Structures are given as structure tokens and as C-alpha cells.
Chains A and B, each alone.
Chain A
Amino acid sequence: MTSLPPSTDKKLGLVIDLDTCVGCHACVVSCKEWNTGGYGAPLADIDPYGAEPMGAWLNRVHTYEVTPAEGPASVVHFPKSCLHCDDAPCVTVCPTGASYKRVEDGIVLVEEDLCIGCGLCAWACPYGAREMDPAENVMKKCTLCVDRIYNENIPQEDREPACVRTCPAKARHFGDLADPDSDVSRLVAERGGFDLMPEMGTKPVNQYLPPRPKTRPQASAASPAPETVEADGLLGWIDRALERLG
């Protein structure tokens, strides 16, 4: 068993806006691209050009259809990666101490040299956010781009997770959720950000912003419809209106 730090100095994490995410997978592929040549073993793809291509990914987008009581069905795009939980069950279940939560920023990492590929952490994670690398047999997970966010070899403005850097719809935000004055904390407060599956007691750091309510087809107008005319009435009105225009 591996223990969690009693608290962390920071709680670095993501805020993901479900109102804005168009489900384009930009974050998914940018993540794969950065991380396959970055922290730990590459994110391998088995049978990449064959019948059953299967690779390791640290971030995936799921698409759900939602049918409200009133109004037409809608579609929600739901990107999901490790939520860097305060009470991360994947850490406490790890038999070797490979999984750990960093005390300085709260990032949950796997020290791959210690990982025996037993997969217990993936079973313990209620979000299904960990994936076994199919070639190296070590557990892979979102590192919050720990090799980007402090990396002095890239410009300051690029020191954010690859998924945030690339998101074309600006649906992903990165920051310190322990700091109530951070941009991400403010977003969560303003938009009613929520924990994913709070009943699991994992206290996820990452937060999701809910979709805003949609207009239903039969909704009534905010203001009354204007007075209407037929063709001759319109042309008569125009004559008078043109005179006013001068």
C-alpha cells in the first residue's frame, strides 16, 4: 500500500468546459504526440495498420447523447483523463509505491521503474483514467505534462499541458485549484464547476463546467413579436421611412 500526502502545496489541475467542448479530439492527439516522446515509456500502438489497432492514450473524449424530459436529444462531448484526485485510490492501492501524488503540486504520477504492471491502480480508478502500455507493460496516465509545465527549454507561455495549449475551442483551462483567486478557481465558482462522480469520495482536483441550458424549439420569444404588415403596407411604410432617412 502506498500513502497519500496529507495535503499538497498546490492543486494543479484542469477545468474542462462541457458547454464549449466540440469533441474534436485535438487534446487527445496533442497529448499522445507530446507524451509518446516525453515522460516515461512511449505510448505504443499495437497492430497500428492492422485489424485491431490498439494504443495507449492518456486522454480520451467520450460522446454521450442526453435526452431531456422536454426538448430534443442533445450530444455532450466529455474529455476524460486522470483527475489527480486528493484521495486517489490508484495511489493507495499500488503495491510497489510506483504510483504517488506529489506533495508540491498534487500531480499523480507513476514512477515507471517501480511499476510491475499489475494493473491494480487501473481497477481502483473509478474513472478508467489509466491505461496499460501495450508494449512496455507499464501503467500510463496523465502527468499534467509535468515535463512541460516547469520546462525551462520551452518558452514560458508554452509551459502548460499540451491539451490546454492546443484546444481550439478553448474548453480546457489549467491552474492551481487550491488558490481561490486563480483563474481556474474563479471559473469553477462562476460557472458551477462540479466534481466528477463525487459519490466515489475521490475528491478529484479536475473540475468540469456544465453545459449551459439550451433554447428549446418551441420556446417563446424574449420580447413580443413586432407588428407586421403585408406587401402594400410594407412598401407604404418604406416610402415614409425613406423620407425620414432624407
Chain B
Amino acid sequence: MAPLDELKIGGMGASRRRVEDNRFIRGKGRYVDDIVLPGMLHVEILRSPVAHARIKSIDTSAAWEVPGVRLVMTGETMAARNLAWMPTLSYDTQAVLATDKVRFQGQEVAAVVADNPYIARDALDKIVVEYEQLPVIVNPIQAQSPDAPLIRDDKENQTSNKIFDWEIGDKEATDRAFAQADVVSKIDLHYPRSHPSPLETCGSIADYDRSSGKLTVYMTSQAPHIVRAAVAMVAELPEHMIRIISPDLGGGFGNKVPIYPGYVISILASILTERPVKWVEDKSSNLISTGFGRDVYLEGELALRKDGKILGMRMHTISDHGAFFADAQPTKFKIGLMHSTFACYDIPTGHLVSEGYYTNKAPGGVAYRCSFRVTEAMFFQERMMHAAANDLGMDQAEFRRVNLVRDDMFPYRTAFGFLTDSGQYEKCLDVGLEAIGYSTFKQEQEEARKRGKLLGIGISTMTEPLGAGNSREYDIIGIKMFDSAELRVHMTGKAILRTGAKTQGQGHETTWAQIVAHELGIPADDIVVEEGDTDTAPFGMGTYASRSTPVAGAAVAMASRKIRAKARKIAAHLLEVSEEDIEWELGRFYVRGNQERGVTIQDCALAAYSNVPDGLEPGLENTSYYDPPNLTWPFAAYFCKVEVDAQTGVWDVLNFVAVDDCGVRINPMIVEGQVMGGLTEAYAMANMQYMTFDEEGNCIGANYMDYLIPTSWETPGFELHEVVTPCPHHPIGAKGVGECATVAGPAAFVNAVMSAIEHTGVRNVDMPLMPNRVYQALQTGQDVSGMPPVLSD
């Protein structure tokens, strides 16, 4: 018998076309807003126009009079049910509907439930709120001032606007390293506030059935099981009476991890009206109130030896978390995995101090397409690397080569305690340098400069920790970070697979089946994948931090292997030999020494329901929980070539080369799609996508006219390369990849632009590198720092 061709059955390595596309291309996706339940009502939310104010009064009487209005809710309505405040994922609290003060522009103040959203919106206009304005804090520098108004006066023992102090590393050893340095390279940086802004906003439909006591909520959630646990705690409903269904998601990027007031409002509204209640926010509400990303200031220093060796690193970050500390992150780590910075470099010691502050801005600090703030960590790292190479007068590529962890150093313990386990960093560097034409660039750059053209090249190399847990170190509100898969093989050899992850466009319905195909030889087309329904899916922590393949994907492999182990017993029974005499090849067991005598996995499946050996349970199903032994450590090396228009500051990408080593690729087509998408968000942040605030706390960037997302026209093309170093501890050797490009990408663009303009003496332009900022740097030779001002004359 010819062995099965794994690529033909859609197994590992096949660029299998996506199963989910069949519905999306027909407009048959089912997103929250597409769902209509009988008798459904609609809720619209009134938001604060001001950033900091005491609420003196709310008059809702006229709103109640609008025909079609069923319910008007305020903080009082919530407070009567003990729901005015809810816990956040970072052990803080967040107001659901404001009772005392509003603390950021766009905060939820009241809600109207009506027969349709037009009527609900009409009624919002009839609500009169009297505010007494308070002084406003719009950045963490202001928040530190002893005269600053106290934003969180609701919290006992909170006497300042500081949320946390956190430090890691060895201060004394770091001080010694700096004392021994030939050169100390110092740079101050700001990673501006950004917003993940998935095209689909957040929304929910709550459906409380009083007769059964069951609450069903359709919700835009990347982590429905966490929501179920949280709702059980907040709403004091028994967990088995809560069903969270996360249907198709129109993107997530971290924005759909937290629990938002709108969800809670729709739930209480359904309980009070005994009707299904839909809440779907508009784009402005999404941008102005839901989880943002970044907003961190850094003071960074590297201790350098003349030959380029980095002796130590010292970093101090100050981060802006908005009015409520609602970061999505593992709870032990106050500023996420910021200390994974410099993990790809061999640096003996380092010290990181982080401070977090409340401000009158939207809450969050979600990991926007990254693993718990590693985007900031790696951006700072690569900007510091760029500045340090310049300070040493050393070539950018050479400086990285000197410091990258070598292949023979794995497993490697970083200065901040992470264990990286695999990679071919230098090879990735070389592949990229070759592809971008690095060796001839300097000459090109000089010749172009003579013709008045400014060319630049930027490099960004990094490894990042993807795939939390392990459960020893990572949890969210106490729930340990692992994941799960449940595989049921039916008697005809077809199967259904469910996991605790939740796809948002990553293609789980396609790739999970490929893992099963690889492990069992069941054609991928014979496997249906379901996610997102807490009543049917096994408990899992959801999809973010590039954790699906590292954790849930591993669980899929393990569940498949356990099924194979059981099938082996059945095969021995069918073949009438002992289990020890059974061999496996893809999709088939055979008798050792007689390859012709065998049974397929499908034969075993049928037998599992019709001809089970004595003493063996019938059926062919397994649920696996996977607790990874370590994070996975993909490596990315990105190279960008730009031309800057000296007269306008406009810059164009001439060429972009991405080399990614994410271990074994389950579906290369999907991996490449992830990389290109991530690079586009990186380009967006480097160039135009940011959110700023004026002194009064007015958000500039709360709609798609001000919050700029690049179109097909500006977005450059990307040239992709791969290097494969399998992950040593992952069952199929895969590493996370969804976020590498967003994490490592921005520094490649910024370093390229800096390379084109730093002959003027400028050392740093903070993102966004809008034309006016680049031009200013070119003209003055001075740094351009911080957020773009809103209006200054």
C-alpha cells in the first residue's frame, strides 16, 4: 500500500485553502451584529463629553417619554444590583455606568434600551447630565505631580495617581557593568498610544431566560471562558447557567480580550426587561473607550565595550494606563512581559524599573497584537540597538551580529530570567541582509545623497515570548494559563474538534484540522472545527498573545495522540496481534514485518463503536489539557529600505524584507498572511496610526478621519523569507507567529527613516513619523519627541 501523501490530505505543511472562507466570501459569516433574536431590544450608551468631572445630576425623565423606549439605565440602576463597578483583568475596578465622577472622555454614563437603535439614540439626546468639571491629567508625567488631582478617589488607600512600581533584574551588577563601559548609549523614547481597532467593533446580545435561569450572551470575545468566569463572579449567576458564545469575530488584535461596560449593561438590561438585548457600539465608541495599546515612555541606556559587546542594560519606563487599570496581562507582571526585552542578545545583566499611572484617558493597556506588551519591549530594544551602534560608530548589522545569542548557546537564560530554547539568529540575519542588498547599500546611500536623495535602511531583530503559560508563571485573575482540545472521531472516521481558543481570522478551522490530519491521517476535510461556545468547547484561555498554536494547537496534537494510542489497541484487536507488534504510518496501523496487513484509522473508528475489545471503553474521543513547559521563542529579522523626500518629510518604503523563524509551519499560506498583516499594522504605527489628547482630555483619534489606518495604496509590498528551527518542547515543533511582525516591524521602519536623516545630527523621532515630524528633524537636526501636539496657536 502506498503511504498517504500528507500534503494531499491537508496535513502539516500544506497551504490548505481556508475552510472558513466558504462562508465569508458568500457574506454568510455570522458576527454578533448579524444575530437577531425574537423580541430583541437595542441598547445605546450615553458617554461623557468631558474627561474629568463630578456628576451633579442625571435627569432621564424625558428619555423615558420617547415612544419605543423600554428602559433607561444609570449608575444608580447598576448600583442597585451591585453592578456599578466591575473587576478588571488586573485586579483593579472599572465603572460600568458612572455614579460619582467621569474619569475619561467617552466614559459610560447612561444607557437607553429601546425597540430599535434609532429610537434608543433619539432618547440619549433627552438625557440631561450636569457635570462639575475637574482638572484633567492627560499624561503620566502630569500624573506624578504632587498637585495633581486624584483620579481614583473611589479607591480606599489610593492617595496618588500611581498604580504600580515594579522592578526586575540586578541593579548592582548593572551599575558595575555601566562603570566598566567604554561607551554608554542613552536614548529616551515614547511609544504613542494606539488602538487595535478591529474593523468590527465590540458588541453583545444578552438573552436571559427567567424560566430556566439561564443567561446566554453572544459576545465579541477573544476569551469566552474567561468571560464566563468573570460574569459568574460579577453578576453572581451560577457558572453552569451562563453560556458565552463568541461567534465570528471581525478581528480582535487584543481589543476583544477585556470585559467592557457595554457587555454588562446588555446583560442587566436583558435581566430587567426579560428580552434579548443587543449592544453594538459604533466606531467612535470603540476607539474612545475600549482597550488601547502602548502609551509608554522609556529612558534607556546600554553599557557598551568598544568592540561592540553589550555589557548591561538599564531601562526605566513610565506608562499611562488611563482611568482604570484594565490591562490584559498575566497578573504577576505589572507591565506585562516588558522584561523580555533584549532576549535575543547575549547580555550579562540588566535592570528594569517600571512605573504605571492613572490618567484621564480611556482605560486599558491591552496587548495590541502582541504578547503582553512585548511590542513596546522590542521596539525600545531595537531603537536602543540602533542608537548604540551609531554611538559606537559600528555597522548596524555587525553590532547585532556581535551580540545575538549564538546557536550553540541554547538553552539560553536571559538577564531577566527567561529561558530561550532555540533559534538560528545569525542565519536569519544573513538571509535578510542578502535579500535587501545590504552590502551595496552604503554606497547607494552616498551616491543618492549626492543627487539630493535621502535613502535609509533599518534593521530590527528580535525574539519574543509567545504562548503563555506555562501555568506556574502565568495566570489571569488567578486562572492558570493552559489550553485545551476535545477531539471526537465518529464511527465513519469523520471528526469534530473543539478547542478553548477562539479564532478571529487566524484560520483555526483550517489549521487545527491539519494538525489532526498530521497526527492521525484523517483528511483535514473530514474534520470540522468549532470554537467559542462555552457550553460545548472545553475550558480554555482564548486567543491572544500568539498563544493559540503554542498552547491550544499543542493540545490538539496531544488529543490526537491519545486517540491514536487508543486506536492502536483497537487495531491490535482487529489484526489479532499484540499491541507491541503494531506499527504506525500516517493514517494506518500494520503488523510489524508485514506492511500489507493493516487497518486504517477509519477502520479503527468504526470498530470503536461496533467491535471493541473486551475491557476497552467504546468510543474514540479525547479531551486534552496542555500546559506548555515554556513559552515559544520565534525569531524575526526585518529589513526596510526607505527614501525620504527632503522637502516634505514624506517617506516611501522602497523594499521590505521579512525573515521569520516561527518553527514548523502548519500552513505556510496562513503564516505568510499573518506576517503581512502584522507588518501592515507596524507600518501604520510607524507612519500614521496614533491617538492623542488635548490638554482638556479630548481624544483626537476617535474616528476614522483622525485615526488613520493605511489603505491598499500606501501600504508597501513585503518580501517574505523563512528559516525553520523547530520548537524543542512543542509537540509539532511550532512557535507563535501572529504578532511577530507587529512587534518587530515598527523599529525596522523607524530605524530606516532615522538612517536616512541622522546625518543631520538627529537621534530620534518618536512615532508616528508623520511628514511634518520628519521634516522638522531634518531641518533642525533635533529630536522630535512625544505625542504630536494638538493645537499650539
B and A form one assembly: no
Interface, chain A (partner B; CB < 8 A):
none
